[in-house]
A and B are shown apart, each in its own frame.
Chain A
Amino acid sequence: MSGFLSNLLGKVGLGGGHTSGQTVEQTAAPVIQTDTQMAEESPKKTGKNVLIAMDGSKHALYAFEWYAKNLYHPDDNVIMAHCAEPGVNIPLSSLLAGNPILIEGMLREGDGKLTRTFATIEAAAEKHNIKHVLERLHGPPGEAIVKAADSQNADMIVAGSRGFGTLRRTIMGSVSDYIVHHSKVPVMICKHDDEHVKLK
Chain B
Amino acid sequence: MESKRTIVIAIDDSVHSEFAFDFYVDNVHRHGDHIVLVHVPEYSNILSASSLLTDPNIIAEMIKDTEERTSELVDKYSFKMQQKQLHGHVRQQCGKPGEAILECAREEGATMLILGTRGMGLMRRTFMGSVSDYCLHHASFPVLVCRHKPFINDK
Contacts and interface: CB of A to CB of B under 8 A. Distances in A.
Contacts of B46: 8, 12
Nearest to B81: A24
Interface residues of A, number: 48
Given A70-B142, A172-B136, A186-B20, 12 more contacts: A8-B50, A26-B85, A26-B86, A28-B87, A45-B29, A70-B28, A156-B27, A156-B144, A185-B147, A189-B145, A191-B136, A193-B140
Nearest to B120: A181
A180 B74 contact: no
Nearest to B80: A24
A150 B63 CA distance: 44
Interface in A138-197: 155-156, 171-172, 180-181, 183-194
B152 A12 contact: no
Given A11-B41, A24-B90, A42 B142 contact: no
Interface of B: 5, 20, 23, 25-29, 31, 41, 43-44, 46-47, 50, 56, 59-60, 63, 74, 78, 81-95, 100, 104, 111-112, 122, 125, 132, 136-149, 152
A15 to B, nearest CB: 10
Contact of A26 (B59, B60, B81, B112): B81
B144 to A, nearest CB: 5
A2 B60 CA distance: 12
Contacts of B82: 24, 26
A186 B147 contact: yes
A28 B89 CA distance: 15
A22 interface: yes
A81 to B, nearest CB: 17
Interface string A1-20: 01011011001110001111
A172 B132 CA distance: 13
Contact of B142 (A18, A20, A181, A189): A189
A70 B132 contact: no
Contact of A4 (B56, B74, B112, B146): B56
A186 B83 contact: no
B46 to A, nearest CB: 7
A128 B118 CA distance: 35
A31 interface: yes
Nearest to A146: B147
Contacts of A45: 29
8 contacts: A4-B63, A13-B95, A13-B100, A21-B89, A43-B25, A71-B28, A184-B148, A184-B149
Given A12-B94, A193-B140, A183 B85 contact: no
Nearest to B56: A4
A4 B60 contact: yes
Contact of A19 (B27, B104, B136, B145): B104
